[in-house]
Structure 1
Amino acid sequence: MKFLFYLVHEYSIPVFRPLVSYLLTEKKEYDFRFFLSEKVNQLVPKDWDEFRKLYSLEEANNFNPNFVLCAENYLDYRLPGLKVQLFHGVGIEKEAHYSIRHFFDIYLTSGPLVTKRFDELAEQYGYFDVIETGWPKFDHILNFDSSRPEVFGEKDTDKKVILYAPTFSRRMQSAEILAATIPQQIYKDELWLIKFHELMSPRLKNLFDSLEGENLKIVKDSDITPYLHLSDIMISDTSSVIYEFSCLDKPVITFRTIGNFEKGLDIQDPEQLRPALDLLLQDSNYKKAERLSMLRRVNPYLDGNISARVFEALGKVHSEGLSAKKTKPANLFRKAKIWSGYY
């Protein structure tokens, strides 16, 4: 089998990392290539061989993959092969997570809560298959070297680390409100890390620029994974990174989250932030059972073997074909955006 990894945004890289590692170590008989944007090409891991990188439709057509793996919301429909959606997050509270944009033949879902929705959509549209495999980035997180990185120097290694990772969505983001209160919440024996989503508004990022100091740092790295391991508590809102942190069995504070309140300790007022932090720093197991129960509904596969399930599922499709028999809609409006270079 041949696979083409489609990368336009850097948030796709950690989703694909464990899949690429699996192919290189366990499935050397499979061939694969990367279809890259110029921006992402500057950021991909150095061990992703140059000869595997493709930049044009002609090169992709010559490679002729069986499957195109994508963690974006869209891809170039002119690429050969079955199009597979792996998702760039598990933002299950966001309706956009369930948007059917008519690009994909297969949706690989993270867990039963997500699978149920996509099964209903598959029945409605009739042209794509849904297979529950788990979300590959959890492999990347769980198999990551969790030794404490040298981020702030030796003198800071005993400090508690608070990670604030808000979503970028205007309707759900917390950054605008919490930017004013966070400086007052920081204790001297704490380090606060601020990690923005790649698509966060520059205006909101600028609110935090002047806050940097000895006890607050803005993370510039594209991959949040090292900082998930480094941190003791996460603060967020309705970002899917909450579930990424929860898979490490660590507590989360959510600010005015939308749905699935069991995933963290939710607060509605900025003044509740410090008391919530003090509570979780004292008792990291507070509401642990509810938090892990929610995670099991979103992604129950925490054995580090999701990548194996992905290729096992696609191998079965390759040998047996899709179960869905209808054809995709014409989708001319979105295809026109591909032609014009809008995406």
Structure 2
Amino acid sequence: MVFSYYIYKYPYKISWHIKSLFGLDNIAFYCADPLDYEMFEHINKYLPKVTIIAKNKKTKIYLSAKGINYKTMPVFPKVVIMGRHEHYKFDVKRIIKIGFDHGLYQFKRWTSNKYYNGFDVYFVSSQDQVEIAKKRGIKSTVAIGYPKLDNAFNGTYNDEYLNKIRLRHNINPSKKTIIFTTTWNVDGLSAIEKWIYRINELTDDFNILLTAHTWTEPKLLNELKNIKNAVFLEEFDITPYLMIADIFVGDYNSLIGEFCSFDKPIITFKVPDSDRSIPEVKELIKKISIQIDEFSEIRAAIN
């Protein structure tokens, strides 16, 4: 918890109670990143009017581009929803605090219990996560599935919608489409440097889609964007592209879990043990994918 929190805490509490005498925002969504809103918009349509709070410049630009009105802190709601562990910014007991995971399943280690138990309810994608959380003393988790994938199964991303994307990106229907993905390059969990400089070896034979974690080093992101005859995905929600892809290539990223929903082949680069990885998840990835060590093995894995 940052030092500024302690300067902010008591003025916020006092202001919230004064504001409550005259009227509070009913529900607020604290949006720390564009990805948070991509997750939340599938839930937002079922709620009464929600006040959107933009944390930073990046998020403000994103929301403005979508025509979404927003406020900045301080905001004084009765209920706050967020996809980050920042409930301490709303440190009033009477505020109902709801959190959710912004990735599918638990690919990274659980943080301190206080970051979960500070929420009245913390939504996760599976009952398995709930049971694991209970063993760790986390009492707030509730399994709800993964709303970000709803459009893949409710008819929104139908054949007509997907075909428009194929046409827009000149995806050749006679070739297999492969999506290369990666987590952010920390603790050796990203395999991006095993393939980024050799991906051009595949572009003649396959449709290649590329995406990376938003925290990936800028120089690597720029390299991805400049790969010829491949499509770098600028969108925050790449669900339609997962549906278009015939084969998924990853490492230790939660997109693996999303792609499992479509029951298609997965190839993963082996990654070393790390303070951020979970042995059980590494074993799960091993079971559900073809694992390789180096890029030189990729064609054999594809075939």
TM-score normalised according to structure 1 size: 0.67
Alignment partners' CA distance in 1, 2:269 and 2:63: 33
Alignment partners' CA distance in 2, 1:162 and 1:73: 34
Alignment partners' CA distance in 2, 1:45 and 1:142: 28
State whether residues 14 and 140 of structure 1, in contact with CA within 8 Å, keep that contact through their aligned partners in structure 2. no
With over 3 angstroms needed to count, the CA separation of the structure-2 counterparts of 1:84 and 1:239, relative to structure 1, is: same
Q: Percent of pairs identical after alignment?
A: 21
With over 3 angstroms needed to count, the CA separation of the structure-2 counterparts of 1:202 and 1:99, relative to structure 1, is: farther
Per the TM alignment, residue 113 of structure 1 is displaced from its structure 2 partner at its CA by 2.3
State whether residues 177 and 206 of structure 2, in contact with CA within 8 Å, keep that contact through their aligned partners in structure 1. yes
- Matched residue type, 2:265: P
* Mapping 1:64-75, distance limit 5 Å: 64-65=77-78, 67-75=79-87
Q: Cα deviation per residue 1:301-335 (whole Å; 9 max; x = unaligned)? A: xxxxxxxxxxxxxxxxxxxxxxxxxxxxxxxxxxx
State whether residues 15 and 140 of structure 1, in contact with CA within 8 Å, keep that contact through their aligned partners in structure 2. no
The runs of at least 4 consecutive aligned structure 1 residues that moved more than 6 Å come to 45-48
- Give the aligned partner of residue 235 of structure 1: 249
- Matched residue type, 1:54: K
Stretches of structure 1 that go unaligned for 5 or more consecutive residues are 24-29, 279-343
- Give the aligned partner of residue 172 of structure 2: 156
Answering whether residue 62 of structure 2 is matched by residue 43 of structure 1, we say: yes
Alignment partners' CA distance in 1, 2:113 and 2:240: 32
Per the TM alignment, residue 141 of structure 1 is displaced from its structure 2 partner at its CA by 4.0
State whether residues 176 and 207 of structure 2, in contact with CA within 8 Å, keep that contact through their aligned partners in structure 1. yes
- Higher RCO (CA-CA < 8 Å; seq separation 6+): 1
**Partner SS state of residue 183, structure 2:** coil
Q: Cα deviation per residue 1:186-212 (whole Å; 9 max; x = unaligned)? A: 1524111111111111133244345x2
Equivalent residue in structure 1 for 2:195, among 178, 183, 187: 178
* Mapping 1:204-283, distance limit 5 Å: 204-210=220-226, 212-214=227-229, 216-256=230-270, 258-260=282-284, 261-278=286-303
State whether residues 122 and 130 of structure 1, in contact with CA within 8 Å, keep that contact through their aligned partners in structure 2. no
With over 3 angstroms needed to count, the CA separation of the structure-2 counterparts of 1:98 and 1:136, relative to structure 1, is: farther
Alignment partners' CA distance in 2, 1:165 and 1:175: 8
**Partner SS state of residue 62, structure 2:** coil
**Partner SS state of residue 44, structure 1:** helix
Stretches of structure 2 that go unaligned for 5 or more consecutive residues are 1-24, 272-281
**Partner SS state of residue 137, structure 2:** helix
Q: Cα deviation per residue 1:206-238 (whole Å; 9 max; x = unaligned)? A: 44345x212x12222222122112211110001
Answering whether residue 134 of structure 2 is matched by residue 119 of structure 1, we say: yes
* Mapping 1:75-224, distance limit 5 Å: 75-78=87-90, 81-90=95-104, 92-95=106-109, 97-102=110-115, 103-122=118-137, 128-143=139-154, 144-146=156-158, 147-148=162-163, 149=165, 150-153=167-170, 156-171=172-187, 172-184=189-201, 186=202, 188-210=204-226, 212-214=227-229, 216-224=230-238
**Partner SS state of residue 3, structure 1:** strand
With over 3 angstroms needed to count, the CA separation of the structure-2 counterparts of 1:110 and 1:231, relative to structure 1, is: same
State whether residues 105 and 129 of structure 2, in contact with CA within 8 Å, keep that contact through their aligned partners in structure 1. no
- Give the aligned partner of residue 73 of structure 2: 56
**Partner SS state of residue 119, structure 2:** coil
State whether residues 32 and 59 of structure 2, in contact with CA within 8 Å, keep that contact through their aligned partners in structure 1. yes
- Matched residue type, 2:294: D
State whether residues 18 and 137 of structure 1, in contact with CA within 8 Å, keep that contact through their aligned partners in structure 2. yes
RMSD: 2.6
